[in-house]
């Protein structure tokens, strides 16, 4: 085994210990899909595979862990007004660095941005994890096949597709929408206008 494969296996064990089997399997599929998108887009596939593996590491933590971490890591106190859907990326990145010892800033940023996306300056690795989370082979929503085809042709078009559809979905269901979700959408809508 290469040193990287050994690291990946060690991290897999730590991720699986934090998650239900269903969510752990999702993380493995995101890791695989991120590797594929990395190959298509000239990104280091090992870096993408590791980022995909850890992206939902914090998803099942109790609210009190996130609230304590927001203080401990001096994050924006407004985060306390949100919920696990938002925390597990932004706050989860700090937990991943602290608890898994992953220090690669590109991986930590990709985790931070994987729920809300970011503007057009979003790093390629972050686009890859954002799309792998949406398109992994276990995902089955109307349009997923089209979304996969668009993303294979253009990663950027895929990012915009997801932002557009997620925003519509959240609004249709009357969910509260995090401001960054709007600003990410607006930036890409302007870009492609």
Chain residues that interact with ligand GDP, rule: CB under 6 A = 56, 59, 85, 89, 114-116, 133, 166, 170, 175-178, 181
Could you tell me the sign of the dihedral formed by the alpha carbons of 71, 73, 76, 80, in that order? Answer: negative
With contacts defined by CB under 5 A, how many residues of the chain interact with Fe ion?
Answer: 2
Helix/strand/coil for 103: coil
| Contact partner, 175, from Fe ion, ligand GDP, none, Cβ < 5-8 Å per class | ligand GDP
Pick one of 33, 58, 133, 163: the residue that binds Fe ion (CB under 5 A): 133
Report which secondary-structure segment, H or E, holds 23: helix 21-41
Beta carbon nearer to ligand GDP, 120 or 170: 170
Compute the least distance from the CB of residue 42 to ligand GDP, in Å: 24
Question: Residue 134: how many CB atoms within 10 A of its CB?
Answer: 23
∠ Cα 113 117 121 (to 5°): 95
Using an 8 Å Cβ cutoff, are 97 and 103 in contact? yes
Compute the least distance from the CB of residue 4 to Fe ion, in Å: 22
Beta carbon nearer to Fe ion, 56 or 94: 56
Beta carbon nearer to ligand GDP, 5 or 143: 143
**Closest residue by Cα to residue 187 from 118, 86, 104:** 118
Compute the least distance from the CB of residue 134 to ligand GDP, in Å: 7
Residues that bind Fe ion (CB under 5 A): 56, 133
């Amino acid at each position: 085994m290469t040193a990287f494969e050994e690291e990946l296996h060690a991290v897999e064990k730590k991720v699986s210990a934090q998650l239900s089997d269903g969510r752990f399997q999702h993380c493995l599929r995101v890791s695989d899909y991120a590797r594929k998108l990395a190959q298509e887009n000239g990104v280091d596939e090992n870096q993408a595979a590791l980022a995909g593996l850890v992206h939902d590491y914090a998803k099942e933590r109790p609210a009190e862990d996130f609230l304590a971490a927001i203080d401990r890591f001096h994050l924006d106190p407004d985060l306390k007004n949100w919920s696990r859907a938002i925390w597990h990326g932004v706050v989860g990145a700090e937990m991943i660095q602290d608890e898994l010892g992953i220090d690669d800033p590109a991986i930590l940023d990709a985790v931070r941005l994987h729920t809300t996306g970011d503007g057009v300056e979003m790093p390629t690795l972050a686009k890859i994890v954002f799309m792998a989370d949406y398109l992994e082979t276990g995902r089955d929503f109307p349009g997923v096949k089209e979304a996969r085809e668009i993303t294979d042709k253009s990663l950027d078009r895929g990012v915009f597709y997801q932002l557009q559809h997620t925003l519509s979905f959240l609004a249709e269901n009357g969910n509260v929408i995090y401001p960054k979700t709007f600003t990410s959408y607006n930036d890409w809508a302007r870009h492609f206008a």
